[in-house]
Amino acid sequence: MSLRRILAALALATFGLALHGAAAAQAAIPDLGAVAAAPPASTLPAGWTQRGVFMEILVRAYQDSDGDGIGDLAGLTSRLDYLQALGITGIWLMPVFASEDHDHGYAVVNYRAIEPAYGTLADFDRFLAEAHQRGIAVIIDYVMNHAAAAHPLFESAYDSRQSPYVDWFIWSEEKPKGWNTFSGEPWREGNQRWYYAVFDAGMPDFNLRNPKVVDFHLDNLRFWLNRGVDGFRFDAVGVLFENSAAAWENQPENHELLKRVHALLAGYGEKYMVCESPGDPAPFASPDSCGSAFAFGLQKHIVASAQLGRLKDDVLYSLRKLPVPRMATFLANHDYFAGTRLARTFDGDEGGYRAAAATLLTLPGLPFLYYGEEIGLGLAAPVSNADQSLRGPMSWSAERNAGFTSADKPFRANVANWQTHNVAAEDRNPASLLNWYRALIALRKSEPALSVGSFTSLSERDQAVFAFTREHDGSTLLVLINYARKPATHALPAGFQPGEWQVVFPQGAKAAFTGTKPALAKLAAQQVLVLKKKPS
- Contact between 524 and 487 (Cβ < 8 Å): yes
**Number of neighbouring beta carbons within 10 Å of residue 461:** 13
Task: For 218, list phi and psi in degrees, rounded to 5.
Answer: -65, -40
196 touching ligand GLC, by CB under 6 A: no
Is the torsion defined by CA of 385, 387, 393, 397 positive or negative? positive
Q: Which is nearer to ligand GLC, 93 or 143 (CB)?
A: 143
- What minimum distance in Å lies between the beta carbon of 335 and ligand GLC? 5
> Residues 128 to 147: which contact ligand GLC by CB under 6 A?
143
Task: For 56, list phi and psi in degrees, rounded to 5.
Answer: -85, 130
- d(C-alpha 319, C-alpha 363), whole Å: 9
- What minimum distance in Å lies between the beta carbon of 474 and ligand GLC? 40
Number of residues that bind ligand GLC (CB under 6 A): 7
How many alpha carbons fall within 13 Å on the CB side of residue 114?
19
199 touching ligand GLC, by CB under 6 A: yes
276 touching ligand GLC, by CB under 6 A: yes
Torsion of Cα atoms, 306 then 49 then 394 then 59, to 10°:
-140
Per-position DSSP letters for 77-114, written without gaps between them: HHTHHHHHHHT--EEEEPP-EEETTTTS--SEEEEEEE
* CA neighbor of 236 nearest in space, from 146, 343, 364: 146
235 touching ligand GLC, by CB under 6 A: yes
- What minimum distance in Å lies between the beta carbon of 236 and ligand GLC? 4
- Cα–Cα distances (Å) from 39 to 35, 131, 264, in that order, read 12, 18, 11
Q: Which is nearer to ligand GLC, 11 or 236 (CB)?
A: 236
106 touching ligand GLC, by CB under 6 A: yes
- d(C-alpha 179, C-alpha 430), whole Å: 55
Q: Which is nearer to ligand GLC, 235 or 374 (CB)?
A: 235
Residues near 224 by beta carbon (within 8 Å), at least 6 away in sequence: 140, 142, 232
- What minimum distance in Å lies between the beta carbon of 74 and ligand GLC? 25
- What minimum distance in Å lies between the beta carbon of 473 and ligand GLC? 36
Q: Which is nearer to ligand GLC, 144 or 488 (CB)?
A: 144
- What minimum distance in Å lies between the beta carbon of 271 and ligand GLC? 21
Q: Which is nearer to ligand GLC, 230 or 276 (CB)?
A: 276
- What minimum distance in Å lies between the beta carbon of 381 and ligand GLC? 20
111 touching ligand GLC, by CB under 6 A: no
155 touching ligand GLC, by CB under 6 A: no
- What minimum distance in Å lies between the beta carbon of 106 and ligand GLC? 3
- Contact between 272 and 292 (Cβ < 8 Å): yes
Residues near 206 by beta carbon (within 8 Å), at least 6 away in sequence: 144, 145, 146, 147, 168, 169, 170, 213, 217
374 touching ligand GLC, by CB under 6 A: no
Q: Which is nearer to ligand GLC, 78 or 183 (CB)?
A: 183
- d(C-alpha 259, C-alpha 275), whole Å: 12
100 touching ligand GLC, by CB under 6 A: no
335 touching ligand GLC, by CB under 6 A: yes
59 touching ligand GLC, by CB under 6 A: no
249 touching ligand GLC, by CB under 6 A: no
- Contact between 418 and 135 (Cβ < 8 Å): no
158 touching ligand GLC, by CB under 6 A: no
115 touching ligand GLC, by CB under 6 A: no
Residues that bind ligand GLC (CB under 6 A): 106, 143, 199, 235-236, 276, 335
